[in-house]
Chain A
Amino acid sequence: MNLVVLVAWTHVRSRIRQTLVGVLGVATGVGFSVMMAALMEGSQRDFIAQLVDSLPHISVSDERRSPPVQPAEIAFGAAEIRGQITPALRPGIKNPYAIMASLESWLPGSVAPSVQARAVISFSGRDTAASVIGIDAKREPNVSKLVTQIRGGSLDNLYKASNAIVLGDGLAKKMGARVGNSVTVTAGNGRSISATVVALYHSGVSQIDDSQSYTLIKTAQILAGQTGLVNEIRVKIKDAMQSREIAARIEAETGYKSMSWQEAHEDLLSAFKIRDFIMYTVVEAILLVASFGTYNIISTITHEKTRDIAIMKSLGLRAATVRQIFVLESVLIGLAGMAIGWVLGLALSWGMEQITIRSPYMDSTHLPIFYSPYHYLLAGGVALLASVIAGYFPARKAASVQPVDIIRGAS
């Protein structure tokens, strides 16, 4: 066996109690870091998942980011047209079904059309402003969670009445309407229809539950007074994280404004960055504290071993060799701590996952834990690095021992 490895291994093995304390220090650091990271990232992903699932991943709307270029500007270089705005009246997406068919041909996900209208819903003399969203009840389940949020009925009931409407449960409560009641829906342009409440839904977001209702596309088109109108194509991507790139491609292909959920929630994503920063700071602080333990142990060993160091140097070992011995001891402690820490982290994460949170307002859930090899590599890597640094300083001191000083003192 290599000299450095042999001596280092013998030292840590013969001081098993000290070594164990050091190993446990690092292991605790790594374990809790891993658990923290798993919990932080788990809760973040859980939050994003809920956020993302409540919205389409990408919304292709009939707006444009900038006014279309005018033919005069193309024809004459000197022409400049000012004061243009994007049209106020929603023109609808042209050929929506052709666009959807072309998107479906390459998108890794699903698409569904919708029509949006503002309306006042009246029931038993009470008027409430609400938005009416016309949907394709067959396609809708592919892009949103609406179908799972339906209470007291089903989404297919929309087909069972000539003018059917699904109200948010908050909206229904405000008006005192129940399933089976007939409400009057009046659009901003004065058109009015009578619709039957066929189901309620509860999304958990009160802002939505209090103000949104769903009808079939056809019904919403009648309200808007525009036949064939489709305002928005909603897209759900298999991997939500790709939404930004795919939205850019849709926009390039169709010319319509495609907003990914990331773009719609830039503020939240930047808040997550701050959260990440806090998490990594805490994780590294834990590991730093653990490395002080390692420093202490290597310091003690080098102090106790001053005589042995002097002997080895007098025999002809180089200072660098002595340094390597003690750095390696520190690394051995770090490695063992890392391995045990990984197991501890896995166990702690698993234990956390078993904790159930019960709340009267929502379904009971487990603590969200996200298992990622990246967390383990990060915690292990930082722990190892800290061990090397913690071992280096006592090792450097050990290597500078002058054998003659020690031998002279001993004899």
Chain B
Amino acid sequence: MSDEPPLLEVRNVTRIIDGEVPTTLVADVNLTVRSGEFVAITGPSGSGKSSLLYLLGLLDVPTSGEVLILGRAASKLSEDTRADLRLATLGFVFQFHFLLPEFSALENVMLPMRAAHRLSEADMKTRALDLLTSLGLGDHARKRPDQLSGGQRQRVAIARALANDPSVILADEPTGNLDTASSDQVLGILRSLVATKAADGRGRAVVIVTHDLDLAARTDRRIHVVDGRIASDERVEPGPTRI
């Protein structure tokens, strides 16, 4: 396993937003995430933890430094290539479910598959239904987001993040709007994903951003960010695959 490149690697990444007063969001961060890791990025509001996640997710481009996905340098890639890479290897879960309101749960989950053009219509439907069923939403597949509870919506969002069998799942405050029971359920699902493997045999990693320290305590690795810098990086409980 050691010859396999890390799923995510961040080298000396700095992100500065231009403006009258340039703001440094992320300063000189180095970070490596390997398969099987369940990572929490914590920190106070405005510490830059979400900004770091967007850089990891190729939603944002670093001012300097390099982000590598599956060993591939991504910072200099064109916007289209980064979009293709997101589609194929990354899955996002946001604080707000961010489902498309006009589409059923099933269609929302099928959306990234349609964009990827890899499966037939029937296969996409089967896969989406399987994903929803595995998350306990088999009976709600035809409902639109406004007919679902907050916890159900967030689980649909997780199913959508898994649509194209990604290597890395990135979650930004995934339980931020949920009650305790739903939070537990969502966290349980994310943890179980770490143990699963993608169809190509590659392991998975889950990175969540949260300000909830109780939640972070239930992950395997906690990275604390203060003022855009990594203040601490501790492994509490060894993950399934050791470095």
Contact = CB atoms under 8 A, between A and B. Distances in A.
A311 B99 CA distance: 8
B103 A10 contact: yes
Nearest to B100: A308
A319 B98 CA distance: 19
Interface stretch (A1-9, A67-75, A185-193, A208-216): A1-9
Contact of A315 (B54, B96, B111): B111
B98 A311 contact: yes
Interface string B205-219: 000000000000000
Given A3-B114, A315-B112, A316-B112, A14 B102 contact: yes
Nearest to A322: B83
Interface stretch (A88-96, A112-120, A401-409): A401-409
B165 interface: no
Nearest to A5: B114
A314 B92 contact: yes
Given A316-B87, A319-B80, A410-B96, A3 B50 contact: no
B84 A318 contact: yes
Contacts, number: 81
B60 interface: yes
Interface in A1-47: 1-3, 6-7, 10-11, 14
A317 B172 contact: no
Chain A: interface secondary structure? helix
Contacts of A11: 102
Nearest to B51: A408
Interface in B97-134: 98-103, 107, 111-112, 114-116, 121
A407 B59 contact: yes
B88 A316 contact: yes
Contacts of B173: 411
B225 interface: no
A268 interface: no
Nearest to B79: A319
A312 interface: yes
Q: Which of A1, A316, A320, A408 has the most CB of B within 10 A?
A: A316
Interface residues of A, number: 27
B115 to A, nearest CB: 5
Given A316-B86, A319-B79, A403 B59 contact: yes
A313 interface: yes
B183 interface: no
Nearest to A2: B114
Contacts of B50: 408, 411
Given A314-B92, A319-B80, A404 B102 contact: no
A307 interface: yes
Given A314-B59, A319-B79, A6 B98 contact: no
A321 interface: yes
B95 interface: yes
B38 interface: no
B160 interface: yes
A311 B98 CA distance: 7
A307 B83 contact: no
Nearest to B157: A311
Interface in B156-209: 160, 164, 172-173, 176
20 contacts: A11-B102, A308-B100, A312-B100, A312-B111, A312-B115, A314-B86, A314-B98, A315-B86, A315-B87, A316-B112, A316-B116, A317-B87, A317-B115, A321-B115, A407-B172, A408-B50, A408-B51, A410-B94, A411-B50, A411-B95
Given A408-B50, A408-B51, A408-B54, 12 more contacts: A2-B114, A3-B114, A11-B102, A312-B100, A312-B111, A318-B83, A319-B79, A404-B60, A407-B59, A410-B94, A410-B98, A411-B96
Interface of B: 50-51, 54, 57, 59-60, 79-80, 83-88, 90, 92, 94-96, 98-103, 107, 111-112, 114-116, 121, 160, 164, 172-173, 176
Identify the 10 closest CB pairs spanning chains A and B, nearest first.
Answer: A316-B87, A3-B114, A316-B86, A411-B95, A14-B102, A404-B59, A311-B98, A404-B60, A10-B102, A318-B83
